[in-house]
Amino acid sequence: MADILHRVGIKASSVDAVYQALTTRDGLAGWWTTNTTGEGDKTGNVIQFRFGAGGFDMRVKTLKTNELVEWKLAEGPEEWMPTTVRFELAQDGEYVIVLFKHLDWKEPIEFMHHCSTKWAVFLMSLKALVETGTGNPDPIDIKIDNWN
């Protein structure tokens, strides 16, 4: 198994703003993809994320208010099945630290390298959304390579 791991620090006076950006449709649409359907505020809910190049459905697996958001892939590209996506949140001084994990890739394939870089760019978009009110969700996301 192989994992994608990231850490960003978001300047915010409370964890709640970050938690909202990870659990509401409008929040998710503000940093990941504008084409988001569904709410992420209840376990069992399915959120549909669609991109120019395809998409996936995430089932909300675990929620701890202002601490943890965990999704399990419900539908998506075969390489993403059955991976888990986790955001762990903690306040550290003036920052909210997000520890991000996309766990349990069967193999460290080239597509995983792409997704690792792309997750970093989207997490920087989450940081920008919370800090400035404006993120870079698909389709105005920052392109990293010929797979977008």
Chain residues that interact with a copy of itself, rule: CB under 8 A: 2-9, 92-95, 97, 99-101, 108, 110, 112-114, 116-117, 120-121, 123-124, 127, 142, 144-147
CA distance 148 to 54: 12
Gap between the Cα atoms of 69 and 107, Å rounded: 24
Cα(119)–Cα(99) distance, integer angstroms: 12
Pairing of strands 2-11, 54-64: unpaired
CB of 4 to a copy of itself, least distance (A): 7
Nearer to a copy of itself, 41 or 141 (CB): 141
Cβ 8 to a copy of itself, closest distance in Å?
A: 5
Smallest distance from a copy of itself to CB 7, Å: 4
**What's the min distance (Å) between Cβ of 25 and a copy of itself?**
25
Question: What three-state secondary structure class fits 135?
Answer: coil
Q: Which residue has the tokens 């955001």?
A: 87
The encoded tokens of residue 5 equal 């791991």
Phi, psi (degrees; rounded to nearest 5) at 137: -75, 160
Query: Is the CB of 81 or the CB of 120 nearer to a copy of itself?
Result: 120
Q: Quick one: 16 or 94, whose CB is closer to a copy of itself?
A: 94
Which residue lies nearer to a copy of itself by CB, 8 or 68? 8
